[in-house]
């Protein structure tokens, strides 16, 4: 069983910043894609950002482009989501996800095999 360990959520005022972290087992990373999704109450889970681990190619949802940055630290087996200029509409539970073998659909939840437990991000106005 692959465990993804998330951290870094919290409460922040609009315009503020937070950084989320997700640690994955090293053995899973070589051909993988890692992504961040979020789910607000009453809404479906939506894609936020993703990174192809070996190629360091990144993807972003239009709603977060220019504000969020996904990155990875190979030595720490960790992917980060730096979130700047946060807005109240960014409020959601954020999930880290890992797809063992990337097939091209980085925005699709079905691309990912393993999920973290989720971390709450709340942005107050």
pLDDT of the residue at 26: 75
Burial bucket for residue 12 (CB in 10 Å: 0-12, 13-18, 19+): middle
**Eight-state DSSP code of residue 61:** -
Average pLDDT of span 4-12: 95
pLDDT digits (tens, 9 = 90+) for 87-120: 999 999 999 999 988 889 999 999 999 999 999 9
Whether the per-residue pLDDT at 22 is higher than 70: the answer is yes
pLDDT of the residue at 1: 77
Cβ pair 65, 47 in contact under 8 A = no
pLDDT digits (tens, 9 = 90+) for 36-90: 999 999 999 999 999 998 888 999 999 999 999 999 998 898 999 999 999 999 9
Strand partners, 82: 19, 69
pLDDT of the residue at 31: 67
């Amino acid at each position: 069983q692959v465990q993804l360990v998330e951290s870094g959520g919290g409460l922040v005022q609009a315009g503020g910043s937070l950084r989320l972290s997700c640690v994955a087992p090293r053995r899973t990373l070589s051909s993988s894609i890692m992504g961040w999704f979020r789910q607000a109450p009453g809404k479906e889970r939506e894609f936020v950002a993703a990174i192809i681990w070996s190629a360091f190619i990144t993807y972003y949802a239009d709603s977060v482009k220019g504000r969020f940055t996904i990155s990875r630290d190979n030595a720490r087996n960790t992917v980060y989501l730096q979130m700047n200029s946060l807005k109240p509409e960014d409020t959601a539970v954020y999930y880290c996800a890992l797809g063992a073998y990337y097939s091209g659909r980085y925005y699709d939840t079905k691309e990912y095999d393993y999920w973290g437990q989720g971390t709450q991000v709340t942005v107050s106005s």
